[in-house]
């Protein structure tokens, strides 16, 4: 199976690039594993974002998260990247993930015939 290319939705790439160095490096390593069809080292399903959505969890000098979807053949859709500041994921971050999940679905729909 060929590696899936990343498809950055919204500001997800810019937001990930703003992570501190170690968190950014680990996020890249984990996303690379996902592109190869492997599981990240620490992740969980995020059905509240959308069917097939997952969250990469990074702990390094803080809690960082990356929402993504792999169920579409053309790539790994990176929906949202953010620093988590409380135990529970904020409503704002969930809403951003949900909106970008809808954008990914729309993009996927445009690529199918």
Domain CATH for 65: 3.30.2310.20
Per-residue confidence (pLDDT) for residue 113, from 0 to 100: 32
pLDDT at 72 (0 to 100): 84
> Which pLDDT score, from 0 to 100, does residue 74 have?
82
What's the domain range around 20?
5-111
DSSP secondary structure string for all residues of 14-75: HHHHTS-HHHHHHHHHHHHHHHTTPPPSSEEE-TTT-TTEEEEEEESSSEEEEEEE--STTE
Q: What is the mean pLDDT of each run of 10 residues along the chain (113 residues)?
A: 88 97 97 95 96 96 95 91 94 97 86 42
What is the count of structural domains for the chain?
1
Please give the model's pTM, rounded to 2 decimal places: 0.92
């Amino acid at each position: 199976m060929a590696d899936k290319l990343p498809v950055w939705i919204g500001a997800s790439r810019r937001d990930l690039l703003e992570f501190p160095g170690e968190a950014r490096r680990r996020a890249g390593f984990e996303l690379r594993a996902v592109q190869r069809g492997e599981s990240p080292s620490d992740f969980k399903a995020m059905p509240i974002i959308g069917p097939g959505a997952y969250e990469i969890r990074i702990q390094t000098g803080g809690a960082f998260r990356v929402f993504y979807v792999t169920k579409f053949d053309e790539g790994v859709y990176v929906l949202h990247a953010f620093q988590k500041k409380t135990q529970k994921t904020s409503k704002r971050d969930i809403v951003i993930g949900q909106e970008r999940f809808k954008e990914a679905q729309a993009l996927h729909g445009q690529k199918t015939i």
